Structure 1
Amino acid sequence: MALSTNCWKYLVLTFNVLFAMSAVVLFGVSGFLLYKLFVYRHFIGVNAEYPAILLLMMAIITCSVAWIGWRTAKSMHHFHIVLTGVLIFVVVVIQFSCFVWAMVVWDSVDIDIKNSMSSYFDLANELNNPNSPDSIRWDRLHVQFECCGVSGPGDYGQKGSVPFSCCGQGPLDAKFKPYTADCSTLYQRGCAKPLHHYTRQQLLLVAMAALIASILQSSGIFCTFFLAHAITKRRRASIRNSSSIREATFSAPDDSLLSPTAPAPTLPKY
C-alpha cells in the first residue's frame, strides 16, 4: 500500500512539472496569437481577441495551480490534494470553454470584420489626411495583403483618387506621393476577404491550442484523485492495524501470577 501511494505521489509530482511546462508553452503560443490579432484590431474588432486573451490568462493561472499541486503532493495532505484536483478540473473546463468560444467566433467573424472595416474605412476617409495613423494603417494593410479598400478600389470612387498603397507602395512612400489615380498594377481585390481568412486562421490556432491543452492537462485530474484515494486507503489500513493490535493487547490473558518468579504462598503464623 505504501509503495502504491508513493508511486502515485511521484506521478503527480511529474505531472505538475509537465503541467507547468505546458503552461509556459501555452503562454507563448497564446501571446503570439494575441499579438497577430491585436495588430489588426482596428479592422477586425476586439471580439476576435477575447478567446486569445482568456487563453493567455489561463496560462498564467495554470502556473499557479502547478505550484500548488507540487506543494500539496509533497505534503501528502488529503484535503489539499483533493482541492488541487478540483482546481485542475476547473482549469481544464475553462480551457475547453475557450476552445468552444474560439470556434463560435471563428464561425461568425465575417460579419464583425465587415462592419468594423466599413466603419474604420469611413473614419479614415472623413479625416482626409494621408499622414494620419488611420490612413497609414490602411496603407500597411493594402501592402501586406495586396488588396485595396474593403471590397475593392471602387470604394474610393466617391473620393476620386486611390491610395498609392493600392499600387504596392509602402506607407513611407505614401508620405512623398500620397495619392495617385494612375496605377499600372492596381490591386483589384478588397481587403475584407483576405483579412477574414487571416483572422479565421488565427482563431483556429487558438481553438486548437486550447483543445490540446485541455486534453493533455485532464490527465492530472485522474492522477491527483487516484493519489487522494491511495492516501485514504492507506489511512484506513493503518486504522485497522491499530485497532487489531489494541484488541489483541486487551484480549491476551494475564499469566503473570503463574510465572515461576512469583513468590510462593506462605502459611499464616500462629
Structure 2
Amino acid sequence: MALSTNCWKYLVLTFNALFAMSAVVMFGVSGFLLYRLFVYRHFIGVNVEYPAILLLMMAIITCSVAWIGWRTAKSMHHFHIVLTGVLIFLVVAVQFSCFVWAMVVWDSVDIDIKNSMTSFFDVANEVNNPNSPESIRWDRLHVQKGSVPFSCCGQGPLDAKFKPYTADCSTLYQRGCAKPLHQYTRQQLLMVAMAALISSVLQK
C-alpha cells in the first residue's frame, strides 16, 4: 500500500514538473509572438494582440497551477488533488478557447488592419510634419515591409552634372505595405493559434 502511494505521488510530481516546463516554454513562445505583433500595434489594432496576450497570461497561470499541484502531491489530500485537476481542466479549456479566438481574429484581421492603417494615415496627414512620430513610424513601416518611405519621393540629380529630375511618385508607390503587413499579421496569429492548440493538447 505504501509502495503504491509512493508511486502515485512520484507520478503526480513528474506530471507537475512537465506541466511547469510546458508553461515556461509557452511563456517564451507567447511572449515572442506578442512582441512581433506589438511592434506594429499602431497599424494592426490592439484587438489583434488579445489572443497572444491571453496565451501569455495562461502561461503564467499554468506555472501557478503547477506549483499548486506540486504542493498537493506532497500532501496527497483528496480535496487538493481534485482542485488541482479542476484547475488544469480550466487551463486547458481556456487555451483551446485562445486557439479558437486566434483563428476568428485571423479570419477578420484584414478589416482591423484596414481601419487601423486608415486612421493612422489620417493622423499623419493632419500633423503634416515629416519629422513627427507618426510620419517616422509610417516611413519605417514601408521600409520594414519592403516598400519605400515618403522621403524617397523628391528631387535629385539624374547624373553628376546637368540633368535634374523629379521622382515619379505615381510609379514609386504602386506597391503599398498593407498587403505585406496583412500577410505578416495572419502568419503571427496562425502561430499563436497553433501554439495554443498544441499546448492544450499536450497538457490535457
Query: Given the superposition, is the C-alpha separation of residues 62 and 111 from structure 1 closer, same or farther in structure 2, using an over 3 Å criterion?
Result: same
- Report the alpha carbon displacement of residue 3 of structure 1 after superposing the two structures with TM: 3.3
- Output the CA distance in 1 between the equivalents of 2:136 and 2:85: 50
- Report the alpha carbon displacement of residue 181 of structure 1 after superposing the two structures with TM: 4.1
Contact 2:147/2:177 (8 A) holds in 1: no
- Which ranges of structure 1 fall in alignment gaps of 5 or more residues? 145-158, 218-270
- Output the CA distance in 1 between the equivalents of 2:89 and 2:160: 54
Counterpart position of 2:102 = 102
Query: Given the superposition, is the C-alpha separation of residues 130 and 68 from structure 1 closer, same or farther in structure 2, using an over 3 Å criterion?
Result: same
- Output the CA distance in 2 between the equivalents of 1:77 and 1:112: 49
Q: Deviations over 1:206-248 (max 9, x none)?
A: 011111111111xxxxxxxxxxxxxxxxxxxxxxxxxxxxxxx
Contact 1:130/1:174 (8 A) holds in 2: no
Query: Given the superposition, is the C-alpha separation of residues 210 and 109 from structure 1 closer, same or farther in structure 2, using an over 3 Å criterion?
Result: same
Q: Which runs of 4+ in 1 moved over 6 A?
A: 159-162, 167-180
Q: Deviations over 1:97-152 (max 9, x none)?
A: 000000000001111111111111111111110001110111111111xxxxxxxx
- Output the CA distance in 2 between the equivalents of 1:19 and 1:168: 58
How many residues are treated as equivalent by the alignment? 203
Contact 2:153/2:168 (8 A) holds in 1: no
Listed as ranges, the matches of 1:187-198 within 5 Å are 187-198=173-184
Contact 2:9/2:73 (8 A) holds in 1: yes
- Report the alpha carbon displacement of residue 29 of structure 1 after superposing the two structures with TM: 0.8
* 2:173 is the counterpart of 1:184: no
Query: Given the superposition, is the C-alpha separation of residues 117 and 70 from structure 1 closer, same or farther in structure 2, using an over 3 Å criterion?
Result: same
Query: Given the superposition, is the C-alpha separation of residues 126 and 61 from structure 1 closer, same or farther in structure 2, using an over 3 Å criterion?
Result: same
Q: Deviations over 1:66-90 (max 9, x none)?
A: 0000010111111101100000001
- Report the alpha carbon displacement of residue 15 of structure 1 after superposing the two structures with TM: 1.1
TM score, norm. by length of structure 1: 0.66
Structure number, greater radius of gyration: 1
- Output the CA distance in 2 between the equivalents of 1:12 and 1:134: 54
Structure 1 vs Structure 2 CA RMSD: 5.4
* 2:181 is the counterpart of 1:202: no
- Output the CA distance in 2 between the equivalents of 1:66 and 1:142: 44
Counterpart position of 2:114 = 114
Q: Deviations over 1:36-68 (max 9, x none)?
A: 111111111001000000011111111110000
- Output the CA distance in 2 between the equivalents of 1:178 and 1:171: 5
Query: Given the superposition, is the C-alpha separation of residues 96 and 179 from structure 1 closer, same or farther in structure 2, using an over 3 Å criterion?
Result: farther
- Output the CA distance in 1 between the equivalents of 2:197 and 2:34: 17
- Output the CA distance in 1 between the equivalents of 2:91 and 2:156: 44
Contact 2:158/2:165 (8 A) holds in 1: no
SS of alignment partner, residue 173 of structure 1: coil
- Output the CA distance in 2 between the equivalents of 1:204 and 1:17: 28
- Report the alpha carbon displacement of residue 169 of structure 1 after superposing the two structures with TM: 14
- Output the CA distance in 2 between the equivalents of 1:48 and 1:95: 17
Q: Deviations over 1:249-270 (max 9, x none)?
A: xxxxxxxxxxxxxxxxxxxxxx
Contact 1:26/1:59 (8 A) holds in 2: yes
